[in-house]
Structure 1
Amino acid sequence: MATSAIVRQGPKLGTKEIYLPNFTLTLLRTPNLPPTFASFIVPLNLNKLDLRDYLWNCYGIPVTSVRSYIQIQKLRQDKPGARRPSPRKWFRPRSIKKMTVEMERPFVWPEVPDLEKWDKKTFDAAQKEREENEKQFRPDGRQIPTKERASIAEQARLLLQGKEKWKTGNTRREWSEWENVGEEIEVERDVQLPKLER
């Protein structure tokens, strides 16, 4: 039995090898650097020649010089994001490698978008509140005084200096708002209590 094959004319597809990078480069916004410089956060195993070749082959940017340094992170008492904080277990986050390249042509950052359309104030307020709540669950959370304690100390200082007077909450005026001015009514009339034998 003969099988018929469809012959396609034109270039063969899928034969050209394409190499895509398996790492992530983060371009940093650096307003203090001149426009011919760009700064990146790169993986620890990336070297200067790799970054130069990457920028030339992907974006066609000729690079004249590359500077790199490794920023060691501070020692922490516990892993960030841990469900149960464990005190006295030291942890050092992974180091960050940064590279600064000097280009032949200047690069200008686009203007910062207006973030008020996306309610940036609410996002920042929620993030600040989340960070304050996380401080309570740190290993040293009980040693840090709370905001309430600081406000009570401020009120006590003002009282001792005589700038404020002591105010009690049980004034006659406040109690009078809750007084019953109507006639007393017995609610449960049909209840008969058993007599106690002596």
Structure 2
Amino acid sequence: MSTRVASQVGPKLGRKQIFLPNFTLTLLRTPTQPATFASFIVPLNLNKLDLRDYLWNAYGISVRGVRSYIQQQKVRQDKPGAKRPKPRKWYRPRAIKKMMVEMEKPFVWPAVPESFEDWDKSTFDAAAEGRKEEESVYRWDARMQANKERGSIAEQAKALQSGEDSWKQTPVRDEWEDVGEAVEVEQDVQVPPVQR
């Protein structure tokens, strides 16, 4: 007995064949929506028929309806990723297109894992924290914020004032360290006279 392909059994949809798609669809976790609805972030040039056709031919999901809207981004100072943002140079990031799909069968998200040790999340978080500290040095307002050494000095001063810590004086040497006999480096140097 032969098996029928989903495109032969289901409704007539687009016949545009895509073997290696050059776009990315991001499925969003939306716990407030019913299980028959799914939300996606899609490229700006993707339309409702393309999304419906893609879901049917790739996953065999029949779609009842598709809603789409374009969300404008907030205006920001300078382009993202700039080491030192330029003040008063405004930039609006590219808009985001979102689509909400109503499916015939419900889709239930898998449970959130309790432990992220399999994915080495602690190393990822440590690297992100280190990257954040490195980038804070290059921010445009970095000079206005107190650095770590200044905070340490302030803590030491508070401890001295409250009496928790006592002043430790380092011994000062009154005499120079003897390194040997003094030797004149340049001998018999003749300086040419200045001409006027």
TM-score (norm 2): 0.64
Which 10-residue stretch deviates more, 56-65 or 140-149? 140-149
- Deviation of the 1:103 alpha carbon: 0.7
Matched residue of 2:67: which SS? Answer: strand
Q: For each residue in 1:82-136, what CA deviation from the matched residue of structure 2 results, as whole angstroms up to 9, or x when unmatched? A: 3564443222221111111111101122233442133212211220231232133
- Deviation of the 1:34 alpha carbon: 2.1
Amino acid corresponding to residue 122 of structure 2 in structure 1: K
- 1:126 and 2:127 correspond: yes
Matches within 5 A, 1:1-198: 18-20=17-19, 21-82=21-82, 85-113=85-113, 114-146=115-147, 164-165=162-163, 167-170=165-168
Larger CA Rg, structure 1 vs 2: 1
- Deviation of the 1:28 alpha carbon: 1.7
- Deviation of the 1:45 alpha carbon: 1.4
- Whole-angstrom CA distance in 1 between matches of 2:150 and 2:110: 46
Q: For each residue in 1:35-71, what CA deviation from the matched residue of structure 2 results, as whole angstroms up to 9, or x when unmatched? A: 2111111001112222122212222211122222222
Change over 3 Å in CA distance of 1:149–1:90 after alignment to 2: farther
Q: CA RMSD in A?
A: 3.6
- Whole-angstrom CA distance in 1 between matches of 2:181 and 2:57: 98
Matched residue of 1:142: which SS? Answer: helix
Matched residue of 1:57: which SS? Answer: helix
Q: For each residue in 1:127-186, what CA deviation from the matched residue of structure 2 results, as whole angstroms up to 9, or x when unmatched? A: 023123213312233344556666777887x77xx8x33634415xx87xxxxxxxxxx9
Structure 1 consecutive aligned stretches of length 4 or more whose deviation exceeds 6 Å: 150-156
TM-score (norm 1): 0.63
Q: Percent of counterpart pairs with the same letter? A: 64
Change over 3 Å in CA distance of 1:148–1:31 after alignment to 2: farther
Aligned length: 163
